[in-house]
Amino acid sequence: MVAPSPHRTAIIDCLKKGMSNSEIIKSLKIDRTLVYRTAKRFERLGTSDDVRRSGRPVSVTTSKTVKEVRKMIEKKPEGSMRKMAKDLEINLNSKQLQEKWEEINDF
């Protein structure tokens, strides 16, 4: 996902003051495409906030889960990856789990 432009709030403030897109481009000295897209987005949404995305929420790469995976592997490096995934209620094919497993078992 692309991070929002740091100029977004400045552009919206100018729009609220009634400035035209051309005036915003000249005063802020930024790319016109950014101004036009931000203006259109603000007109459509009425806010500068990001739109909530659809899809499955992040559950595996949270810092809590990463710490738990590390602890389990350090306690019992010869343990079953399948059992660990079941205990943590995460997908066995989780990249995070596989990377930590390989990192510990390479030695």
3-state helix, strand, coil in the chain (%, to 5): 60, 0, 40
Per-residue model confidence (pLDDT) at position 30: 92
d(CA 64, CA 8) in angstroms, rounded, equals 32
Q: What is the DSSP code (8-state) at residue 20?
A: -
Per-residue model confidence (pLDDT) at position 85: 76
Residues with Cβ within 8 Å of 100's Cβ and at least 6 positions away in sequence, in order, are: 66, 69, 70, 73
- Please state the domain extents for the chain: 8-45, 63-105
The pLDDT tens digits along the chain (107 residues) read 456 778 888 999 999 999 999 999 999 999 999 999 889 988 888 877 777 777 776 666 677 777 887 888 788 877 777 787 777 777 766 666 667 667 666 65
